[in-house]
Structure 1
Amino acid sequence: MKAHYYSVITLLGLCANTFSCALVAATNTYATLNQQFAATHYKNEALEALYGQNALDKINQLPGFTLTQSNTQRGLSAAGGNVLINGTSAVSKSESLTDILRQLPSDQIAAIHLYSAGHPFSTASQFNQLVNVITHSPKLGAHWQARSKLTSAYHDYRPSEVATQLSLPGEYWQHQLNMHYQDDRSQSTSTFQEIDAVGALVEQGDEAFFEKRNGRLLSITSQPALIDSRLTFSAKAILDDFQLTQTRENGSPLSWQLNESESRAEYEMSIDWQKTSNNDNLMQLVVLHNRKLTDLNSEHFEHTLIAAPYQQHKTQQEQVIQFNASLPSRAYSPELGIEISRNQLDATTGSDGDFEQAHVNEIRYQPYAAITTVLTSQWQLYTRLNAERTVLKSHARHNNKTQLGFIKPLIRLSYDPQSNWDMTITAQHQVDQLDFDDFVQSQDAEFNRTQSGNLSLKPSQYSELATEFNLRLFEALYLNVNLYHQWQKDVHEFIPLPSGDAMIGNAGNAQKLGGSLSATWDTSQWLSDSKLTLNYDFASARYRDLLTGQRPTDGLTPHDATVEFRQDSQRYSWGIDVYLPLTETNYYVDELYIKEDHIELSAFMEYQYSNKLRFHTSVATINTAKYSYIQHFYDEDRRGMYTGTRRFDERIDPVVTLSILGQL
């Protein structure tokens, strides 16, 4: 069955390419000389109507659009997301897409283009919806913000964040400097109890949790003044220190305690060169180097005076070179490119006097080619063929070498009647990235779990059929609906080892059905400049578990929904967010773990004091956040006899934050 779906989707890709060429030849036309993509342009007054002080604020207000961030594990082809800046993906592995958009001030935005059903950007072909942010050349000036939590049981009125962005344009060079300092603290309290198989109380008590993060970021981006191309140099340094303390009291003289400290240092340099010719042909060359250092030290007291120590040091390096070419002026608008990446992880782990060294090295080649065909004025076909060749070497207690090859076709058929709705149908085969952390052992002392490293882990992959609709009803209601069905192969699940330990492994096949709904309702007829937004995601999966039979896949959240109401006027803005309850279930070898939360309310208010000074106040978890963590235990594994349950009920009190934002 798994080979059947893979073969079908590959055959569809080849047929679609053949059909595209045949249709163009039959009509004796080169309709793709000027691609026609439906887009909504926000500029001038329409751009100003999108309230916000940076690109992220404005993008979050686009009707029916949902920002999607890809993973940042390795390589650039899967990094970034469905927002481009000046037609290209943000080149960074050290910062998320939301962080990058938050650092782009609104006065540097010239226009925002929203593509709802297909787009001309090859580097983001995996997305149907896409936003392209067009920027001005920066002016001399500075943007800054200072933020403080006003409610904290540890240090009242302590500043928690300071950030500055300096724009330094010149005749020959433009520079942008970002500096960010964060001293954030969070805390919660919990009650816990444990019962045995017959329901008798084994233990109960209270838990206190405290975490502190101290983060520093320094980055500089430089661009020379060029006429027919754009060249960007970027360098970043990020330092993060974490401290965590958990204490459980059950009435006994000796308490359960976990003390953990972690330091992370990340350094990144990149070069991004783009050249556009007079006939809109685009070439892009990206080179990136990233290095991460992580040190973890943990002490765990299990109602004893002697701690169980755990230390781990990891060094990760990544070098990527990527070339892309897009030729919209040629027949079929061909696109081609290749990415070559080298990744390496070295880890040393010490647990109770037992030390283990692990080394992982990967070299990956990913070429692609694509064409676009305008079938009619309303129908457009995009076909793309991706390939991947990976050589993976790993070493811990023994050596392992794996060579992998994949073919990943993608077909997108878009229909835009240039009215109040459009539709996109997508068929694709995708291969997920491996997480190198799964190759080395890890520990979760909070829930008393350990995980062995898996040197022979293969990436999971899936074939997918998806349909996306965009509808505008009554000129006041905008809907985006996405439905998909996935046939998954080599899914990652926790599997048992003969030694009794557990690890992440390839555990067979699964099917997943899901979808999302994003609805934006303009409520200005009742309250000026107001709107109501609903986002809802659902997912259902079927997986054949060797231990317990049919069940959902690990970590599945069946339902996830948020509702937001906000009003944005010229001088002030306010809003209320409602987060509806969700449940996540994880299937460990000898444990069924369930995480539940309750309805949460948050609010914000922002006031524009002057053109260069604003005040922002937010209240998180107005109604006090409540979470439940439930562990059901079984003898040996989940096929065995039920032995008991441990439950934690956590609460986080409301947090009020005041921010002052300005520019010079």
Structure 2
Amino acid sequence: MIPRIPGRSMLLAAAAVLPCAGGLAAPAAAQDAPAAPEPEAGTAATAPSGASATTRSTFLPADFARFAPRSAFDMARNVPGFSIQEGDGARGLGQADTNVLINGRRISGKSNGPTEALRRIPLEDVVRLELVDGASLGIGGLTGQVLNVVTSASGRVSGQFRYNPEFRTFGTPARLFQGSIALAGGGTKNEWNLALRNDSNRRGNEGPEEVFDGSGMLVALRDEKLNVDTDRFGLSGSFTRNADNGAILNLTGQVQGYLFREREISLQRPPGGTLDRTRSLRRTEDEFNYEIGADYEFGFGPGRLKLIGYHRYEDSPFTNTVLTTFTDGTPVTETRFVQDADEGETILRSEYSVGAGGGNLVAAVEGARNHLEIVSALSARDAAGVLQPVDLAGSSARVDEDRVDAGLTWSRALAANLQLQLSAGGEYSRISQSGPFGLTRSFWRPKGFAALDWKVTPNLNLAGRIERVVGQLDFFDFIASVDLDQDRADASNADLRPEQSWLYDVEASWRMGALGNLTVSAYLEDLVDVVDQIPLPGGGQAPGNLPSARLYGIEGQTTLLSDGLGWKGTRVDLTLGWNESSVRDPLLGFLRQVSGNELFTLEFRVRHDVPNSDWAFGTRGDWTKNVRNVRLDEISLNQPSFAQMFAFLENKDVAGMTVRARVGNLLGQRDRFERTVFTDRAAGIAAFSERRDRRFGTIVSFDIEGSF
């Protein structure tokens, strides 16, 4: 299952793919113009026809050589002042929602997105990396700095592997099965790559939880231990073919399995007393999903036509069980929630690009069909110890959406240093839900944007954008569900409407030569029909629409290089983010923060590569201040103590491999959670509150990377 991201996916927050501590490297310098040798005729492509990409900086593989990269991803994540943005779950394929291109072209995938694609491209196939102005590319949705990775098949089959074991000082088993192996090959007219990968996690924590009654008196103590084991394993790949007539075929695919196991034991007692009950929580998920994408671009009339197809399917059986035993002989209590969710998305899209009005015009039409079908059952143990069904109205249903959108995007250079991009269009959608609360509705939504990229000086770029955005509903919000761990219930709400917003964002990027790079960006988003918890007319609560909300924030990201100061080999990365929001609480009527946002983020990375050696060392850390989550009867906060900090030591030539050792949680960060549950939140009457403080120990991990 894909979790819902509250509000918009923060433009300046969690979309960035952060490099691991071992990858905190930077090229010594970058060229300010695309002076790199051109790739051989064949697979490497340029910007779309009719567009003239404006390049800010160019990096060659040699610029990254001292860091022993194995793939395009190893280089892309170390471009100074740049962070990879994964897709934000936007509707359909639509306009680009990532800031990475490969050979001037978007990646026709979602979960199989830019990070996975770059990981599969070996070092030998990378010609150069270009930071370009997004608005100059003629690709809708791109503004500010965009990374274009230019590749050309080396003509031989090559491979790379990674193995990443991890150990914790207590509480969790070792992570022994995380790793990947990738193969790539091709010739002058084609490229292909395959990757087998397992993303594995062994997480856990333990510690006390205190429970207070409505008056604030301590009424219970709990000693708790949590273990969460996950494995996401799969095979992904892509194939590109360039025909002699200029036609280009791209195929991408991915098949995955996902195993999730959560176990929590809670030993509970009254203050000053002995153990009187043991609560056991179990959650499992056995997911299977696959994704396939294809696009074919060819000359048609005066322009070029691109046909795109995409399909994704996911099956997610899920169970949640809570069982409590008592020391005084009280009968065992047990509650179980079982859910099987089938999701699917099919998209067909066409784009026609042609020179017009001194620039490039793209006409696009897209059709999509999405569905979610859920079968759920809630049961509880009776006095005889037999699980009996409990009614949960609206918990089994199917949600379907049929959608068509169309738009025109026009890009042109207003001057040698000024790029304009305009887009206008709209979408029609029909959403239907089956079951006792079924409803069918239709929506018409206008959309579009205006964007500018201005190269003020050779080293300073400004970019701005105004956009009308239509949000993507999470179909899980339509269907009734329960969280047995926190004793929460959401009723069915078939009347959900997609969010709409006006989004304004600006970005300034300053290249400081040998000293590094500084990027500052800011955004403001005014939303209508924002999704939050609302009271339902028949009682209960569920995700629903509030009239409006506002989100705004600023982020600064800098990369500082010591080489320009005469000290070779050190790089410092620093990111600061501040976000604010406001929405009117549906119960009390006052303005509050939007649930689930981050107020403040701080991330830093320091890496030093010892000159004339294979050794490197460094550190990284992060700290985040979170916003409280608000429900009609509950206010909660998930806020770890202070900061997380890691240190690493690396050798780049151990029998031809890179070996890296990391030690994490050097500051002893703890997982903290608190919540207050209300009998009547409007009157300020609390039923009880909980306060949790758990440790998870020191983390020791290793990276072993090689090529063949």
- Report if aligned partners of 2:143, 2:451 keep a CA contact under 8 Å in 1: no
Worse-superposed segment, 240-249 or 353-362:
353-362
Q: Does 1:130 align with 2:146?
A: yes
Structure 2 match to 1:295 = 317
What are the Cα deviations for residues 222-253 of structure 1, in whole angstroms up to 9, with x where unaligned?
34462322212333210111111011112334
Worse-superposed segment, 318-327 or 99-108:
99-108
Residue among 89, 98, 109 paired with 2:115: 98
Q: Distance in 1 between matches of 2:654 and 2:304?
A: 42
Structure 2 match to 1:284 = 306
What are the Cα deviations for residues 275-325 of structure 1, in whole angstroms up to 9, with x where unaligned?
36999x543221112110000012112456231010000111111112223
Q: Distance in 2 between matches of 1:596 and 1:645?
A: 16
Residue among 379, 387, 404 paired with 2:418: 379
CA drift at 1:181:
3.5
CA drift at 1:517:
0.8
Matches within 5 A, 1:141-220: 141-151=158-168, 153=170, 159-169=176-186, 174-220=191-237
Q: Does 1:510 align with 2:555?
A: no
Name the aligned partner's letter for residue 519 of structure 2.
N
Worse-superposed segment, 365-374 or 426-435:
365-374
CA drift at 1:116:
4.7
Are residues 220 and 34 of structure 1, via their aligned partners in 2, closer, same or farther at CA, if it must alter by over 3 Å?
A: closer
- Report if aligned partners of 1:119, 1:130 keep a CA contact under 8 Å in 2: no
Structure 2 match to 1:617 = 661
For the residue of structure 1 that corresponds to 2:136, the secondary structure is coil
Structure 1 match to 2:593 = 552
Residue among 443, 459, 471 paired with 1:420: 459
What are the Cα deviations for residues 424-448 of structure 1, in whole angstroms up to 9, with x where unaligned?
2221111111111212223323322
CA drift at 1:204:
1.4
Aligned length: 631
Structure 2 match to 1:25 = none
Worse-superposed segment, 528-537 or 138-147:
138-147
Q: Distance in 2 between matches of 1:648 and 1:79?
A: 41
- Report if aligned partners of 1:185, 1:212 keep a CA contact under 8 Å in 2: yes
- Report if aligned partners of 1:270, 1:289 keep a CA contact under 8 Å in 2: yes
- Report if aligned partners of 1:71, 1:79 keep a CA contact under 8 Å in 2: no
For the residue of structure 2 that corresponds to 1:623, the secondary structure is coil
CA drift at 1:207:
0.9
Q: Distance in 2 between matches of 1:223 and 1:94?
A: 19
Q: Distance in 1 between matches of 2:558 and 2:242?
A: 42
- Report if aligned partners of 1:218, 1:236 keep a CA contact under 8 Å in 2: yes
Structure 2 match to 1:114 = 131
Structure 1 match to 2:449 = 410
Are residues 33 and 613 of structure 1, via their aligned partners in 2, closer, same or farther at CA, if it must alter by over 3 Å?
A: closer
What are the Cα deviations for residues 159-194 of structure 1, in whole angstroms up to 9, with x where unaligned?
222321122436986542221235532211121101
Name the aligned partner's letter for residue 542 of structure 1.
S
Are residues 206 and 610 of structure 1, via their aligned partners in 2, closer, same or farther at CA, if it must alter by over 3 Å?
A: closer
Q: Distance in 2 between matches of 1:443 and 1:298?
A: 9
Residue among 74, 80, 89 paired with 1:72: 89
Q: Does 1:497 align with 2:536?
A: yes
Structure 1 unaligned runs (5+)? 1-31
Residue among 258, 277, 289 paired with 1:266: 289
Structure 1 match to 2:9 = none
- Report if aligned partners of 2:173, 2:202 keep a CA contact under 8 Å in 1: no
For the residue of structure 2 that corresponds to 1:46, the secondary structure is helix
Q: Distance in 2 between matches of 1:172 and 1:101?
A: 19
Structure 1 match to 2:651 = 607
CA drift at 1:470:
1.3
Structure 2 match to 1:594 = 637
Q: Does 1:320 align with 2:347?
A: yes
For the residue of structure 1 that corresponds to 2:177, the secondary structure is strand
CA drift at 1:201:
0.3
Q: Distance in 1 between matches of 2:420 and 2:338?
A: 53
For the residue of structure 2 that corresponds to 1:58, the secondary structure is helix
Worse-superposed segment, 421-430 or 113-122:
113-122
Structure 1 match to 2:31 = none
Q: Distance in 1 between matches of 2:409 and 2:266?
A: 58
RMSD: 2.7
Q: Distance in 2 between matches of 1:635 and 1:301?
A: 25
Q: Distance in 2 between matches of 1:46 and 1:87?
A: 21
Structure 2 match to 1:7 = none
Are residues 145 and 493 of structure 1, via their aligned partners in 2, closer, same or farther at CA, if it must alter by over 3 Å?
A: same
Matches within 5 A, 1:448-459: 448-459=487-498
Structure 2 unaligned runs (5+)? 1-48, 270-274, 327-331, 380-388
Q: Distance in 2 between matches of 1:173 and 1:115?
A: 25
Q: Does 1:226 align with 2:243?
A: yes
What are the Cα deviations for residues 360-405 of structure 1, in whole angstroms up to 9, with x where unaligned?
1111112111212322233332111131111111112132111111
Are residues 605 and 465 of structure 1, via their aligned partners in 2, closer, same or farther at CA, if it must alter by over 3 Å?
A: same
CA drift at 1:588:
0.8
Are residues 149 and 587 of structure 1, via their aligned partners in 2, closer, same or farther at CA, if it must alter by over 3 Å?
A: same
Q: Distance in 2 between matches of 1:126 and 1:223?
A: 23
Are residues 55 and 329 of structure 1, via their aligned partners in 2, closer, same or farther at CA, if it must alter by over 3 Å?
A: farther
Worse-superposed segment, 190-199 or 312-321:
190-199
CA drift at 1:639:
4.4
Query: What's the TM-score once normalised by structure 1's chain length?
Result: 0.89
Q: Distance in 2 between matches of 1:377 and 1:492?
A: 43
- Report if aligned partners of 2:52, 2:136 keep a CA contact under 8 Å in 1: no
Q: Distance in 1 between matches of 2:378 and 2:168?
A: 38
- Report if aligned partners of 1:295, 1:312 keep a CA contact under 8 Å in 2: yes
Name the aligned partner's letter for residue 569 of structure 2.
D
Are residues 200 and 461 of structure 1, via their aligned partners in 2, closer, same or farther at CA, if it must alter by over 3 Å?
A: same
Are residues 337 and 592 of structure 1, via their aligned partners in 2, closer, same or farther at CA, if it must alter by over 3 Å?
A: same
Name the aligned partner's letter for residue 193 of structure 2.
Q
- Report if aligned partners of 1:38, 1:118 keep a CA contact under 8 Å in 2: no
Are residues 572 and 250 of structure 1, via their aligned partners in 2, closer, same or farther at CA, if it must alter by over 3 Å?
A: same
Are residues 336 and 152 of structure 1, via their aligned partners in 2, closer, same or farther at CA, if it must alter by over 3 Å?
A: farther
- Report if aligned partners of 1:604, 1:619 keep a CA contact under 8 Å in 2: yes
- Report if aligned partners of 1:72, 1:78 keep a CA contact under 8 Å in 2: no
For the residue of structure 1 that corresponds to 2:547, the secondary structure is coil
- Report if aligned partners of 2:497, 2:545 keep a CA contact under 8 Å in 1: yes
Are residues 65 and 277 of structure 1, via their aligned partners in 2, closer, same or farther at CA, if it must alter by over 3 Å?
A: farther
CA drift at 1:491:
0.8
CA drift at 1:662:
1.5
Q: Distance in 2 between matches of 1:427 and 1:478?
A: 25
Residue among 530, 554, 557 paired with 2:570: 530
- Report if aligned partners of 1:210, 1:245 keep a CA contact under 8 Å in 2: yes
Residue among 53, 56, 62 paired with 1:45: 62
Q: Distance in 2 between matches of 1:392 and 1:164?
A: 41
Query: What's the TM-score once normalised by structure 2's chain length?
Result: 0.83
Q: Distance in 2 between matches of 1:344 and 1:626?
A: 40
- Report if aligned partners of 2:120, 2:193 keep a CA contact under 8 Å in 1: no
For the residue of structure 2 that corresponds to 1:375, the secondary structure is strand
- Report if aligned partners of 1:73, 1:435 keep a CA contact under 8 Å in 2: no
CA drift at 1:336:
1.6
Residue among 424, 433, 441 paired with 1:394: 433
Are residues 651 and 369 of structure 1, via their aligned partners in 2, closer, same or farther at CA, if it must alter by over 3 Å?
A: same
Q: Distance in 2 between matches of 1:572 and 1:322?
A: 49
For the residue of structure 2 that corresponds to 1:145, the secondary structure is strand
For the residue of structure 2 that corresponds to 1:189, the secondary structure is strand
